[in-house]
Structure formats: C-alpha cells, structure tokens
Amino acid sequence: MGKFHGGGFQAIQEYFQQKSCRFCDNPFSSEGIQLLREEPGVLVVRVTCSSCGHPLGVAIVGTNNRGQKERPNCPADWTKKDIDRLSKNPAITYDDVLSAHEFFTKLGSDWAQHIPRLRRAAQSQ
C-alpha cells in the first residue's frame, strides 16, 4: 500500500496496536488493520484481530489535519459564526469517533427526527 498523507493510517495502526482484542487479549497488529477508504479528513478502517481472527469492526476515524490552511476542517455550510463558536471545541479523538460510530449503528430508521431541522440555504445560483 502506498503512503498516506500526514501518516494518518499509520497513526491509526499505532493506535490500535495499543489496544487489545477483547476475545483473546492479544494486542492488535498492523496486519489486522485494513484501510477501506480514504477521504479528506476521514479514514475508514476495518480492524480484525490477527491472533484469533475476531473482527473488532469498522471504524470511521477523523484525522486531524494539522497545518492545514486557515479554515478549519468543518462543514462547508458553516457560517463564520459557527466556526468561531465551534472550532474552539477540542478536536475529535479516535475514541469519540468510535463512540459516535457505535451511536450511529444503534439508531433506528427514524434517526432523522432527532436532527434539528436545518434551514435550507438558498441554492438558486
């Protein structure tokens, strides 16, 4: 596999190598960590225990793009006010992302009702 920008995937491998499989207690090894998809700011990895073969699951991991230009990595429809207000929050960590992933997988088909309605930005030109 090729190199990844900023060593994000390598950092994920190192992160999971500090964790142990809950079935056999062996630490995960880099062979068990497979990059499924890479997008700007996000890596999707599948983690499998290479000792006993139990899958840990698929993790969606946000990568901190340190040194990126002035605009923080945030949704394109955020206003400047949103950025001022929200960008001071601590960066999302791997654990946050894993928790969020667990949270999303537990949502039912009516998950959208929990999301506050957003005003549609005028799309005309």
Closest CB 12 distance from Zn ion, rounded Å: 18
Closest CB 48 distance from Zn ion, rounded Å: 9
Residue 51 or 65: which CB sits closer to Zn ion?
A: 51
Residue type, 24: C
Residue 59 or 63: which CB sits closer to Zn ion?
A: 59
Residue 50 or 64: which CB sits closer to Zn ion?
A: 50
| Contacting residues toward Zn ion, per CB under 5 A | 21, 23-24, 49, 51-52, 54
Closest CB 27 distance from Zn ion, rounded Å: 9
Q: CA geometry: angle at 5 spanning 84 and 49, to 5°?
A: 105
Rounded Cα distance between 124 and 121, Å, is 9
* Element counts in the chain: helices (H) and strands (E): 3, 3
Contacts of 59 (CB under 8 A, 6+ apart): 12, 44, 45, 46, 47, 94, 97, 98, 101
* Rounded (10°) CA dihedral 56, 60, 66, 71: -170
Residue 52 or 86: which CB sits closer to Zn ion?
A: 52
Closest CB 33 distance from Zn ion, rounded Å: 13
